Amino acid sequence: MNEHDSERLAGMLVNEGMVAAEDETGADVVIFNTCTIRENADLKLYSALGHLKAEKERRPEMQIAVGGCMAQKDRGQILERAGWVDVVFGTHNLSSAPALLRRAAREGSVVEVWDAPDPQSALDMAPALYAVRELPWAAWMTIQTGCDNTCAYCIVPAVRGREISRPLEDLVTEARMLAASGVSEITVLGQNVNSYGRDITRRRPLFAELLRALGQVEGIERIRFTSPHPKDLRPETIAAMAETPTVCPQLHLPLQSGSDRVLSAMRRGYSARRYLERLGQARAAIEDLHVTTDLIVGFPGETDAEFDETLAIVAEADFDAAYTFIFSPREGTRAAEMTEEYVADDVVAERFARLKEVLDRSALRHHEARVGRVEEVLVEGPSRRNDQMLSGRTRQGKLVHFPVTDAPVRAGSLVNVRVNHGAPYHLRGELDSVQRGPRHKVRLALKSS
Given pLDDT bands bounded at 50, 70 and 90, which one contains residue 325?
very high
With 50 as the cut, is the pLDDT of residue 445 above it?
Answer: no
Q: Amino acid identity, residue 116?
A: A
Write down which residue in 94, 112, 130 finishes a domain. 112
Residue 445 lies in a domain: no
Give the pLDDT of residue 124: 62
Write down which residue in 60, 91, 112 finishes a domain. 112
With 90 as the cut, is the pLDDT of residue 443 above it?
Answer: no
Determine the Cα–Cα distance for residues 379 and 438; give it in Å rounded to an integer: 9
Residue 446 lies in a domain: no
Mean pLDDT throughout 357-361?
Answer: 97
Per-residue pLDDT tens digits for 15-35: 999 999 988 888 999 999 998
**What 3-state DSSP class applies to 186?**
strand
With 90 as the cut, is the pLDDT of residue 346 above it?
Answer: yes
Q: What Å distances lie between residue 290 and 92, 102, 293, 316, 443, CA to CA?
A: 34, 47, 10, 15, 34
Give the pLDDT of residue 82: 95
CATH code where residue 174 lies: 3.80.30.20
Mean pLDDT throughout 77-95?
Answer: 93
One domain for residues 357 and 417 = no
**What predicted TM-score, i.e. pTM, was given to this entire model?**
0.91
Determine the Cα–Cα distance for residues 92 and 72; give it in Å rounded to an integer: 8
One domain for residues 318 and 401 = no
Domain count, the chain: 3
One domain for residues 34 and 182 = no
One domain for residues 419 and 352 = no
CA-wise closest residue to 290 among 362, 392, 397, 427? 397
One domain for residues 134 and 260 = yes
Residue 271 lies in a domain: yes
Residue 443 lies in a domain: no
Determine the Cα–Cα distance for residues 75 and 88; give it in Å rounded to an integer: 7
With 70 as the cut, is the pLDDT of residue 333 above it?
Answer: yes
CATH code where residue 96 lies: 3.40.50.12160
Answer yes or no: are the C-beta atoms of 155 and 108 closer than 8 Å.
no
With 80 as the cut, is the pLDDT of residue 339 above it?
Answer: yes
Given pLDDT bands bounded at 50, 70 and 90, which one contains residue 1?
confident
Pairing relation of β-strands 144-145 and 222-226? Answer: unpaired
List, in order, residues 6 or more apart from 415 with CB less than 8 Å away. 376, 377, 379, 392, 409, 431, 432, 433, 434, 435
One domain for residues 33 and 136 = no
DSSP-assigned letters across all residues of 61-116: T-EEEEEEHHHHHHTTHHHHH-TT--EEE-STTGGGHHHHHHHHHHHS-EEE--SS
Percent of the chain clearing pLDDT 90 (strictly above): 80
Write down which residue in 93, 112, 131 finishes a domain. 112
Beta strands (DSSP E) in 98-182 are 110-112, 138-142, 144-145, 164-165
One domain for residues 355 and 336 = yes
Beta strands (DSSP E) in 233-357 are 250-252, 290-297, 321-326
Judged by average pLDDT, the poorest of 132-146, 254-268, 358-372, 433-447 is 433-447
Determine the Cα–Cα distance for residues 72 and 437; give it in Å rounded to an integer: 43
Mean pLDDT throughout 356-378?
Answer: 98
With 70 as the cut, is the pLDDT of residue 306 above it?
Answer: yes
Pairing relation of β-strands 164-165 and 144-145? Answer: antiparallel
Determine the Cα–Cα distance for residues 266 and 288; give it in Å rounded to an integer: 31
What is the span of the domain harbouring residue 104?
2-112
Give the pLDDT of residue 121: 64
One domain for residues 228 and 251 = yes
Sign of the dihedral defined by the CA atoms of residues 197, 167, 153, 7, in that order: positive
Residue 444 lies in a domain: no
Mean pLDDT throughout 126-133?
Answer: 74
Give the pLDDT of residue 14: 92
One domain for residues 286 and 355 = yes
CA-wise closest residue to 297 among 339, 333, 258, 264? 258
**What 3-state DSSP class applies to 3?**
helix
Residue 88 lies in a domain: yes
With 80 as the cut, is the pLDDT of residue 39 above it?
Answer: no
Does 121 or 185 have the greater pLDDT score?
185
One domain for residues 362 and 378 = no
One domain for residues 294 and 410 = no
One domain for residues 107 and 222 = no
CA-wise closest residue to 295 among 336, 326, 264? 326
Give the pLDDT of residue 101: 97
With 80 as the cut, is the pLDDT of residue 118 above it?
Answer: no
CATH code where residue 414 lies: 2.40.50.140
With 80 as the cut, is the pLDDT of residue 278 above it?
Answer: yes
Give the pLDDT of residue 126: 59
With 60 as the cut, is the pLDDT of residue 449 above it?
Answer: no
31: left (phi over 0), alpha (psi -120 to 50) or beta: beta
Q: Amino acid identity, residue 113?
A: V
Residue 403 lies in a domain: yes
Judged by average pLDDT, the poorest of 156-170, 241-255, 347-361, 363-377 is 156-170
Residue 332 lies in a domain: yes
Average pLDDT score, the chain: 92
